Amino acid sequence: MGDLLQIIVAKYNYWIYITLMMIGLYAMIGKNNLVKKIVGMSIFQTAIILFYVSIGVKKGATIPILEHGHGEHGHSAAALIVHAVDYVNPLPHVLMLTAIVVGVATLGVALALAIKVHNRFNTLEEDEILAQIREK
* Residue 124 burial (CB count, 10 A): 18
Spell 17-45 as b/e; 16+ CB within 10 A means b.
beebbeebeebbeebebbebbbbbbbbbb
pTM of the complete model: 0.80
pLDDT of 80-91, one tens digit each?
Answer: 677 788 888 888
pLDDT of 73-124, one tens digit each?
Answer: 555 655 667 778 888 888 888 999 999 999 999 999 999 999 999 999 999 9
Domains for the chain: give ranges and CATH numbers: 2-62+75-135 (1.10.287.3510)
pLDDT of 17-36, one tens digit each?
Answer: 999 999 999 999 999 999 99
pLDDT reported for residue 68: 63
User: Is pLDDT of 72 > 60?
Assistant: no
d(Cα 49, Cα 27) in Å, to the nearest integer? 18
The length of the chain, given as a count of residues:
136
